[in-house]
Amino acid sequence: MKYGLCTDMANYEQLCKIGYDYIELAGTEVLKVTNLALQELRRKIQDSGVPCIGFNSYCDGSLPIVGDGYRSEATATYAEVICEKAAFLGAGVLGIGSPAARKLPRGYDLKRADAQAEEFLRITAEIAKPYGITILFESLCTKMCDYMVHTQEALALVKRLQDVGNIAMVLDFYQMSMMNEDITDIKYVMPYVRHLHINGFDGIGNRIYLFEDQLAYFSLAILSAKGCGYDSTISIEAGTTNFQEDAMRSLKILKYCDGIRI
């Protein structure tokens, strides 16, 4: 597998030195930085050979995917901007989890929400297509949002959009675990999966980097994916206050669980 991190632009050089295969940037961060900063990052990427394969954190709550605030025009305008920046950095996938954009008021019509989410993904994917970018949808747990919280739900939506041609899925083992889904039962979804996310979690379910006390969990997740023939990218998606230490330890754990003895 290829091992990466969802992390800030400021951590790029450290990530390269530690030995990760790629970086996965937050779309919300990329939209806020200057063009000069993006040009500098692209130069570093070209010099190092460690790519930015894509973005997570596609949008925040200011661009609702569902709910009363959803607007097709805003969806298209946003997609035009972020796809251009992604292509500039050489990114090939845009992951759409975006929990803040998936908040629904109690009693909201779920059929209406489904139609909005489908239109959101269709508009975004059509704009991404000329750039050679694939849109990856993701289910999120109820700790983070209240729409499409099970893998089966997200898969059903992605299946309805297969005519678009560049829509697939991120499978996140943390999100599955928080919803008490069996991370070994993934054969049904893996034909639609193009990318994986993984992280550790503490006693109250907060996402953290990888620690040895959850080694069996990480090993099981990777074994499950590889058992389905998956051998592509897997990113750690968590917060940290000690990037270098956490990133170094986590990469060693990922490689160990993937059968690479260092």
Q: Look at residue 53 and tell me if it is in a domain.
A: yes
Do the domain assignments include residue 18? yes
| Mean pLDDT across 162-169 | 98
Residue 42 counted as domain residue: yes
**Would you say residue 188 lies in a domain?**
yes
The domain total for the chain is 1
What is the value of pTM for the model shown? 0.96
pLDDT digit string, tens, across residues 221-256: 999 999 999 999 999 999 999 999 999 999 999 999
CATH number of the domain enclosing 162: 3.20.20.150
pLDDT at 63 over 70: yes
- Does any domain span residue 185? yes
What range defines the domain where residue 84 resides? 2-257
User: Does the residue 262 lie in any domain?
Assistant: no
Angle formed by the axes of helices 72-88 and 35-48, nearest 10°:
40
Q: How far apart are CA 100 and CA 32, in angstroms?
A: 17
Residue 105 lies in a domain: yes
pLDDT for 170 equals 98
Question: Residue 148: left if φ>0, alpha if ψ -120 to 50, beta else—which one?
Answer: left
Counting residues of the chain whose pLDDT is more than 90, the rounded percentage is: 98
